[in-house]
Amino acid sequence: MSKELFFNNFRSFISKYKKVVIVSHVNPDGDAIGSSLAFYFFLQKFGIDVKIIIPNDFPSFLAWMPGIENILVFDKNSEKGVEYLNAADLICYIDFNHPSRTGLVHNDLCHCSKTPKMLIDHHRDTDYSQFEAYLSELETSSTAELVAELIQSQGFDKYLDDKIAICLLVGIMTDTGSFAHSIYHPETFEICGKLISPTVDYQLIHSKIYNTFSENRLRLLGYSISERMVTLDEYHTAYIYLTKADLERFNYQVGDTEGVVNFPLMIDNIKMAVLITERQGVIRFSFRSKGDFSVHEVARAHFNGGGHTNAAGGTLECSIEQAIEKLLAVLPQYKALLNK
Ligand code: 5GP
Ligand code: MN
């Protein structure tokens, strides 16, 4: 289904549904929350009863966002979440494309196999056969940009308001690292230009996202770089590892390691950065790269994950020592590509 077809059919498609549940991915980021909330406010304008479910809590730097109090956090209130899912006549996947990305919600989503599904997302390897309608573009900064395009196609003059504009800007800003990467076309800037207004202050939004660290979070970032970063010049790679004890030392809160993985890429000859964190029972990997080296391939082939060319994630069930060993064992096969 092309973008144009999706836009042209959207009104008649959505008018068939009265109770819509938006679901986004586990460890929701600014794009997951921003695009879900913007779509939520947009659908409400059609008189639709809309709910948003996220598998686990959002980071505190998003707590100020308009409408955030209406999001149901599944691992805190799964009974209500199941109720919402069972009552839905349409389930929208926002910023992910496979139910395995929904953590605890996964099982209950599978029980809703007969409920029509819609998708708005920018990840690859989508099985389109499961969706009644989809807006799926790989070469787009963020899901928020897709939602912005959708709303624009229906008329910004009719449907855009400050709350929607703020949520969309948060999604685009965070998924592009403040417009530093994942920009594939000038339309990203053009649409942001239309979202900004005297009452939608880009600098203020940016400050609310990036200048609201706790002292512990900033110290954890400093510690990650000075004490826990290992550079492997031979592979143009740097990794940072954080143990459970490290996180506890800095009183880790959800979202505190967000962005840490980007810092090693600031080193001139580093092409891939990896953050390895010890979480409850699993090891979480975050990958970032510069240029055309695909961390999606690395995450998919060896770390049960995936993502985009320059940003991906994955998990392993092992100790942190084994996780580092695994990374070191995998690197030689990418040596040529990393030295290109
Ligand atoms: P992050 O490192 O910020 O957690 O994730 C970076 C990107 O990779 C995001 O776009 C996210 O959607 C994707 N991603 C993260 N973890 C996974 C995973 O386990 N599986 C897949 N398929 N994608 C992931
Ligand atoms: Mn995204």
Mutation to probe ligand 1, out of 29, 93, 260, 309 (largest number of atoms < 8 A from CB): 29
Q: Are 23 and 109 in contact (CB under 8 A)?
A: yes
Ligand 2 mean position, distance from CA 137 (Å): 11
Ligand 1 mean position, distance from CA 275 (Å): 12
pLDDT value for 81: 97
Q: pLDDT tens digit string along 165-188?
A: 999 999 999 999 999 999 999 999
Ligand 2 mean position, distance from CA 93 (Å): 12
Ligand 2 mean position, distance from CA 234 (Å): 31
The C-alpha atoms of residue 272 and residue 239 are separated, in whole angstroms, by 8
Sheet holding 90-94, edge to edge: 71-73, 49-54, 19-23, 90-94, 117-121, 133-136
The C-alpha atoms of residue 228 and residue 238 are separated, in whole angstroms, by 10
Which residue in this structure is represented by tokens 């959800």?
254
Atom 20 of ligand 1, residue of closest alpha carbon: 305
User: Ligand 1 within 6 A of 313 CB?
Assistant: yes
Q: What is the DSSP letter of 292?
A: T
The C-alpha atoms of residue 111 and residue 114 are separated, in whole angstroms, by 8
Helix (H, G, I), strand (E, B) or coil at 186: coil
Q: pLDDT tens digit string along 89-134?
A: 999 999 999 999 999 999 999 898 899 999 999 999 999 999 999 9
DSSP letter string, 229-246 = EEEEGGGTEEEEEE-HHH
Q: Does 280 have pLDDT greater than 90? A: no
**Ligand nearest to C-alpha 30:** 2
Ligand 2 mean position, distance from CA 270 (Å): 24
Q: What is the mean pLDDT of residues 160-166?
A: 98
User: Ligand 1 within 6 A of 308 CB?
Assistant: yes
Atom 7 of ligand 1, residue of closest alpha carbon: 312
Ligand 1 mean position, distance from CA 278 (Å): 16
Confidence of residue 157 (pLDDT cuts 50, 70, 90): very high
34: CB partners within 8 A, 6+ apart: 65, 142, 144, 167, 168, 169, 170, 171, 172, 174
Q: pLDDT tens digit string along 227-239?
A: 999 999 999 999 9
270, with CB counted inside 10 A (0-12, 13-18, 19+), is buried
Mutation to probe ligand 1, out of 286, 302, 309, 310 (largest number of atoms < 8 A from CB): 286
User: Ligand 1 within 6 A of 311 CB?
Assistant: yes
**Ligand nearest to C-alpha 32:** 2
Q: How many residues does the chain have?
A: 340
- Of 161, 169, 97, 170, nearest to 129 by C-alpha is 97
CA distances from 69 to 239, 255, 326 (A): 36, 18, 40
Atom 12 of ligand 1, residue of closest alpha carbon: 307
Supply 70's token pair.
């209406």
% of the chain beyond a pLDDT of 90 = 98
The C-alpha atoms of residue 295 and residue 272 are separated, in whole angstroms, by 8
Q: Does 1 have pLDDT greater than 90? A: no
Ligand 2 mean position, distance from CA 249 (Å): 30
- H/E element, 38: helix 30-44
pTM for the structure as a whole: 0.95
Q: pLDDT tens digit string along 15-74?
A: 999 999 999 999 999 999 999 999 999 999 999 999 999 999 999 999 999 999 999 999
Q: Are 141 and 308 in contact (CB under 8 A)?
A: no
